[in-house]
Each structure stands twice: as structure tokens, then as C-alpha cells.
Amino acid sequence: MIAIIQYNAGNIRSVQNALNRLGYESVISDDPTVILAAEKVIFPGVGEASSAMQYLKSKGLDQLIPRITQPFLGICLGQQLMCRFSEEGNTPCLGIFDAQVCRFPAKDKVPHMGWNCVRQRITHPLWHKIANDSRFYFVHSYYVEPDNVNQVAGATEYGHEFAAALSKGSLFAVQFHPEKSQHSGLQLLDNFLHWDGNV
């Protein structure tokens, strides 16, 4: 079973629809028992960091998510919430990745929206059959600034370089939207669905 974490964030149904196109069924849930029983977990979302964290805390998911050991994919807001702290609402987050989330400087056009190239920083099963510098679809006003460069799986340039993908053990997270990124995005999702969590 594939569990998609429900936490009152947007864009969750579009992720489920992308999985359906790939031939996989999934369940959207905020039930810790359902999430722990899943073979794979996806943590997507579009929304605001502080209200998202409040919802996760109300369901005990802020304690559960850092303990998940099965293959886990964070998407957009999901990636940001996996970091230590977000400037959006001055929000303490889940602390899974050694990184903080910063707002793009005022000189940049915000949000960063549209297609951009991702440079692969590491060899990883989720990049299988995806060419380096492939284009993915982004829409976000905050970006991930990592403390630990060894956790950066992919980088993108928008005004300056930032982490487009993070990796740690059986965890992988992306700032872009694979479900909106056509062939490369669907390939990444398919790679995740076949991934055993080993790197």
C-alpha cells in the first residue's frame, strides 16, 4: 500500500492522480496506523508552513514522520517541512534534514514558478533514467538552504543556487512537483514506487 499523508495541504489529489496514471493505487490518510502500515509514504503539499505544522501536531504526525523507516518521498511543502526551520511564519519544522527554509530575496521575482533544470549532485535510484539537467516544474516562494551539502541530491538556480532535492537514507525530498513535470516527473515517481529504500 502507498500512503499519501493528508494534512490539509493542497495538491494532494494531483499526486494521487499521477500514481493512478502509473497504475498504482494509494490511500490519502492522516491516521498514524495506516501510514506506518504502508510500504511507501508520500508527503506532498502546497500551503503555509506554520498551519501545516499545527495540523501535523494535532494528529501526532510531527512525532511519527521522523520515525518512518520505509521509502519516503517529500514534495514541495513536504520537503520544506522535513527541514529544521522555516522562515515562513518562523516555524520550527520536523528536523529530518540539516537545513532551513528561507524566503527568496525581494530582488527576485516571487514565486519562482515554471520549468527549471535540476543538476543531479549524487547518483541515486530516484534519478534512474532521468538525464542530468532535466527540467521540472516549480512553484514556491521559499527555498531550502542546506547546512549539510552531503544531503543535497539535486540543485537548481534561481537568483542563486538552492537545494532542489535532498536525500538521507530511505528519505528523498524534492522542491519541484514531479506530478506536474511530465515525463521526467512521472519517471521519478515510478522510480520511487520501485525503490526499496537502499542507496
- Say if residue 125 is preceded by a cis peptide, omega within 30 of 0: no
3-state secondary structure 154-199: EEEEECEEEEEEEEECCEEEECCCHHHCHHHHHHHHHHHHHCCCCC
Annotation says 177 is catalytic? yes
* The one catalytic residue among 39, 179, 183, 194: 179
Residue 106, classified by CB atoms within 10 Å of its CB into exposed (0-12), middle (13-18) or buried (19+), is: exposed
SS3 assignment, position 90: coil
The position carrying cell 524534492 is 174
* The one catalytic residue among 39, 48, 76, 145: 76
* The one catalytic residue among 88, 93, 112, 177: 177
Distances (CA, A) of 31 to 6, 20, 56, 114, 160: 9, 21, 11, 33, 39
Annotation says 161 is catalytic? no
Annotation says 76 is catalytic? yes
Give catalytic residue positions.
Answer: 76, 177, 179
